[in-house]
Structure 1
Amino acid sequence: MNKPSRAAGQYASAPATPRALTRQDAKTLSLSALGGALEFYDFVIFVFFAAVVGKLFFPADMPDWLRQVQTFGIFAAGYIARPLGGVIMAHFGDLLGRKKMFMFSIMLMACPTLAMGLLPTYESIGIWAPIALLLLRMLQGAAIGGEAPGAWVFVTEHVPARHTNFACGTLSAGLVAGILLGSVVATIINAVYNAEELAAFGWRIPFLLGGVLGFVTMYLRRWLHETPIFTEMQEMKTLAEELPLKTILRNHKGGIIVSMLATWILTGAVVVTILMTPTLLQKLAGLSAQTTLIANSLAIIAVIVGCLVSGALADRFGSGPILAIWSAGMGISYWVFFSTVLHDATHLIGLYVIVGFFVGLTGVVPAVAVKSFPAAVRFTGLSFSYNVAYAIFGGMTPMAVTLLLKSNPLAPTYYIAGLGVLGLVLGLYLSISKSEQPVLATTAAG
C-alpha cells in the first residue's frame, strides 16, 4: 500500500503547540525570497535585451521580422522546458529532500545565465551561437520550473502552519521583485551606454551580474536547513514508495484541478496586467513608452505590497475568502483602469497602482496549491500543476488577448474580468468546502 496519501499533520504523534514566527523563520523567508528574486531576474533579463541579442546572434542579412521571431522563439523555449525541469526536480525533491533541489535549481539558473554573458556571437562562431543560446535558455526554463514550486514548498514546511499564506506571499513578493530588478537594471544599462557600446559589451553585463549574484545566493542558502516535515518523514520512513507523479495523477486529481485553476488566475494576472499592458497602452492609447514603463514599475511595487497584505490576511481569515476578494478587486479595478486610460490618461498611475495591489493575489495562490497535496508528494503535485498550467495558459493568454483585440479594444478587460469571476468562484468553493485547511502541521513546524 502507499502510505504517503496521508496528510503531513498525521505524522506527528500529538498536535503541535502553535508558535509565532521566529528569527530562524525570518532568515528562511528572506534567503528564499532573495534567491527567488535573483532567479526570476535571470529568467526575465533576456527579454529586456532581446533586440540587441537578436542582432548579435543571427545573420546580419536576416530580415528584421524573422530575427525578432527567432529571438522570441528562443525566449519562449524557456517556458517549454519548465514543466519537464519542474517535474524532474520535484520528483527528487520528494525523494531526496527539499533543500537539495532548492540548491540545485539556483545553480542550474546561475550557470547558464553566466554562460550567456560569455557567449561568442554569430560573427565569431556562426550558427553555433544561436544554438548555444537556445540550449542555455532551455536550462534556464528547467531551473525556473523547479525554483518557484520548490521555494513555496520549502518555506511553508518551515514556518508554523498558521503562517503558510504569509510565507507564500513573502516569497511571491520576492519573485515579483525579480521582474522589477530586471526592469531597473535594463533601464540603467541603456542609460549608461550608447547603442555601439551596448552591442559591443554592454548587453553582457546584466547576464554576468545575474550569474554572479546567483552563486552568491547559492552560498547563502547553504545555511538553510532541510524542512522539518521532510526530516520527519525520513525518520518515520513514510516517503513516497512509488513514482510521486504516478501517485498524484491517481489519487489527487482534485488537488491538481484546484492548483491549475489557481495558476491560470495567477498567469493571467501577471501576463496581461503587468507584462502586456504597457505595450497595449502605447498602441491603443498612444502613450509614450517612458510614461507606461514608469507607471508599470509603480504597479509592480504595488503587486509586492499586495502579496504581503493578502498573505497576512489569508492567515487570519483563510485563503479562500481573500482569494475571492482580491480576484473581484482585480477584475473590477482593471476594467475601470483600462477603459478609462484608453480615453483619458490623467489618472494612469493611481489606477494602475490599485490594479497592481489586487494582482497581489499572486501571494495567495501558491498557498492554495501547496495545501492541495499531502507532504509525501507535495513538491511533485505543486510543480506538475503549476508548470503545466503555466506552460498552457502562459502561452495561450497573449495569443487569446491579441486575437480578441481585433474585434474589441476592451478585450483585455474581458479576459481579466473572466479570471476575476473564476477566482471569486474558486475562493468561495475553498471557503465552503474547507479544502483549504492546512495539511502542514508537524511537531517541528507548529
Structure 2
Amino acid sequence: MNNESTEDHNTSAARPLGARDVKTLGLSALGGALEFYDFVIFVFFASIVGRLFFPPDMPQWLTLVQTFGIFAAGYIARPIGGVVMAHFGDKVGRKKMFMFSIMLMALPTLIMGLLPTYATIGYMAPILLLVMRMLQGAAIGGEAPGAWTFVTEHVPARHTAFATSTLSAGLVAGILLGSLVATGLNYAMSAETLESWGWRLPFLLGGVLGFVTLYLRRYLHETPVFTEMQQTKALSEELPMRALLRDYRNGVAISMIATWLLTAAVVVTILMAPTLLESFAGLDRGLVLQANSVAIVCVIIGCLVAGWLADRFGDGIILTLFCAGLGISFFWFFWLMHQSTELLFPLYALVGFFCGLVGIVPAIAVKSFPAAIRFTGLSFSYNVAYAFAGGFTPMVVTSSIEVLPMSPAWYVALVMLVGVVLGLSLARRHYRYRSAAPVS
C-alpha cells in the first residue's frame, strides 16, 4: 500500500480547517486526555502499588518487575479490545465505538481505587488488579486507533498529521494530568498517608473523569467519510481483517514499526523514567515528578510542532529528525542523572520535545489503509505492536537495569535508530511520489 494513498481520505482535501473541525479536534483531544489519564495513572503509583499488592518480603527489584508486569498486562489485552471494536467501527460506525470504549475504561478504573490490598486478601489482590488492568487495556485498544481514525476522517487530508498530533497531544495531556495529580498528592500528603489511602484518590478521580468524557462525546458527529461509505454502500462486504491481511501487509508492517517508536518514546522516557530514576539512581521522587510534568508539557508542544511540520515537509523527514533528537537527548539525560541533577529540568524538557514524534506516528499509520478497513488496519497494527513492544519493554528494562544501569537509554537509542531508517525510507517515497505527480 502506498503511504501516500490518501485520495479516499477526505473529499474536501484542499479546504482549510473550519470551526467544526476545530470543535471536533478539541472535544476529541479533551476526551482522549481524560480517558488516557485513567490508563496511565497506574504507573505513577507503581512503587506504592507494588508494596501494597505484593508480599512485603519480596526484593525491591522483583516487586517492581511484577508491578510493571501488571502494567504490561494492560497492553497485552489491547489487541483483543482493539480488533473487536475496530471490526464494528468499520461496520456500524466510528462514533458508536468511540463512546463504548470510554465505558469500558471508566468502570475498571473506579474499581481499582476500591480494591483491597495484599494485607487484606492475600494473592487475590494482585489477581483482581490484573483483571482490572486487562479490562483497561481492552478499552484503550479501541480508543486510540478509533480516535485517530475519527479525527482524520473529519478534517481535510492535507491536515492529517496535524489532526493526529492534536489528538496525540490530548492523550499526552492525560499523562500530564496524571503526573500533576501524583505530584500534588506527593506534596499534600505524608508518605504514610499516601500509602495508607491517598493512592486510591487518583483512581477514583479517573472513574469520575471517564463519565465526564462520555458526556462530552455526545456532542460529536459520525465522520463524513463513514457516512458517505454508508450512503454509497462502499463498506467492506467481507471481514475487514481478512482484506487487511491479504492486501495490506506492507501497511501493517510500516504501522507496527511506527508504533514501536511510539512505545519507546512514551513508555520508557515519560512513564517509566520517574520510577526508574527514583528507584535506581536515587533521585528524590517529588523532584523527578516535577521535571516529568515539565517534560510532558514539552511533549504536547513537540506533538503540535511535529504535526504542523509533517503536513508541510512530509512525515518521513520530520520523523527522522525527531527520532535522532530523542535517541541522543535521552541517552545524555539518563547518563547524566546518575551523576548529577543539575540539568534535570532543561534536559528532560528537551527529551519531552523530541517525544513529540508520537504526534506523527498515527498519521503514518492512517495513510497506510483505505477508508473501508482503516479502523481495523490501524487498530490491528497499533495494538499488536504495542502488546509486544509496550507490554514487554517495562519488564525487560527493569530486569536488565541491575546488570546494565544504562539499559533504558540503550534501548531507546536502538529503537530510535530504527525510526531514522523508517523515516528516511518514507521521505524517499514522499519525494518520489511528488516528483512523479503531474504538474497542473
Q: TM-score over 0.5 for the alignment?
A: yes
Q: Which residue of 2 aligns with 1:322?
A: 318
Of 145, 150, 153, 1:149 maps to 145
1:80 shift after superposition:
1.8
In structure 2, do the counterparts of structure 1 residues 199 and 383 end up closer, same or farther at CA, with 3 Å as the change threshold? same
Q: Distance in 1 between matches of 2:143 and 2:315?
A: 23
Worse-matched range after superposition: 180-189 or 338-347? 338-347
1:421 shift after superposition:
2.3
Matched, 1:44 2:55: no
Matched, 1:417 2:416: no
Matches within 5 A, 1:12-411: 16=12, 18-53=14-49, 71-119=67-115, 129-194=125-190, 197-198=193-194, 201-282=197-278, 285-402=281-398, 405=401, 408-411=404-407
Specify the SS of the correspondent of 1:237. Answer: coil
CA contact (8 A) 2:6 2:370 kept: no
Q: Distance in 1 between matches of 2:118 and 2:336?
A: 46
In structure 2, do the counterparts of structure 1 residues 188 and 340 end up closer, same or farther at CA, with 3 Å as the change threshold? closer
Specify the SS of the correspondent of 2:233. Answer: coil
CA contact (8 A) 1:169 1:364 kept: yes
Specify the SS of the correspondent of 2:151. Answer: helix
Q: Distance in 2 between matches of 1:94 and 1:131?
A: 34
Specify the SS of the correspondent of 2:42. Answer: helix
Q: Deviations over 1:136-169 (max 9, x none)?
A: 2211110011111111100000111111101111
Q: Distance in 2 between matches of 1:116 and 1:401?
A: 26
Q: Distance in 1 between matches of 2:62 and 2:295?
A: 33
In structure 2, do the counterparts of structure 1 residues 294 and 64 end up closer, same or farther at CA, with 3 Å as the change threshold? closer
In structure 2, do the counterparts of structure 1 residues 130 and 406 end up closer, same or farther at CA, with 3 Å as the change threshold? closer
Q: Distance in 2 between matches of 1:8 and 1:420?
A: 23
Specify the SS of the correspondent of 1:434. Answer: helix
1:112 shift after superposition:
1.6
Amino acid at match of 2:108: P
Specify the SS of the correspondent of 2:113. Answer: helix
Q: Deviations over 1:308-341 (max 9, x none)?
A: 1000111111111111111122222223333444
Worse-matched range after superposition: 295-304 or 93-102? 295-304
Worse-matched range after superposition: 340-349 or 312-321? 340-349
1:249 shift after superposition:
0.9
In structure 2, do the counterparts of structure 1 residues 25 and 132 end up closer, same or farther at CA, with 3 Å as the change threshold? same
Q: Which residue of 1 aligns with 2:425?
A: 429
Q: Distance in 1 between matches of 2:349 and 2:59?
A: 39
In structure 2, do the counterparts of structure 1 residues 305 and 46 end up closer, same or farther at CA, with 3 Å as the change threshold? same
In structure 2, do the counterparts of structure 1 residues 17 and 267 end up closer, same or farther at CA, with 3 Å as the change threshold? closer
1:6 shift after superposition:
12
Amino acid at match of 1:231: T
Q: Deviations over 1:17-47 (max 9, x none)?
A: 6211111111111111111111111112223
In structure 2, do the counterparts of structure 1 residues 412 and 110 end up closer, same or farther at CA, with 3 Å as the change threshold? closer
Q: Distance in 2 between matches of 1:155 and 1:50?
A: 32
CA contact (8 A) 1:155 1:167 kept: yes
CA RMSD of aligned residues (A): 3.2
In structure 2, do the counterparts of structure 1 residues 436 and 156 end up closer, same or farther at CA, with 3 Å as the change threshold? farther
1:114 shift after superposition:
1.9
Worse-matched range after superposition: 223-232 or 45-54? 45-54
1:11 shift after superposition:
8.6
Q: Deviations over 1:380-439 (max 9, x none)?
A: 11111111111111133334445665665444443333223222221121122239989x
1:123 shift after superposition:
6.7
Q: Deviations over 1:273-322 (max 9, x none)?
A: 22333344446654333333322221111111100100011111111111
In structure 2, do the counterparts of structure 1 residues 270 and 193 end up closer, same or farther at CA, with 3 Å as the change threshold? same
Specify the SS of the correspondent of 1:25. Answer: helix
Task: Show structure 1 runs of 5+ residues with no match.
Answer: 439-446
Q: Deviations over 1:165-215 (max 9, x none)?
A: 011111111111111211211222343334554455433322221111111
1:83 shift after superposition:
1.0
Q: Distance in 2 between matches of 1:417 and 1:8?
A: 28
Amino acid at match of 2:97: M
CA contact (8 A) 1:52 1:199 kept: yes
1:60 shift after superposition:
7.6
CA contact (8 A) 2:306 2:360 kept: yes
CA contact (8 A) 1:45 1:206 kept: yes
In structure 2, do the counterparts of structure 1 residues 137 and 279 end up closer, same or farther at CA, with 3 Å as the change threshold? closer
TM-score in terms of structure 1 length = 0.87
Worse-matched range after superposition: 27-36 or 426-435? 426-435
Amino acid at match of 2:111: A
Worse-matched range after superposition: 393-402 or 176-185? 393-402
CA contact (8 A) 2:3 2:367 kept: no
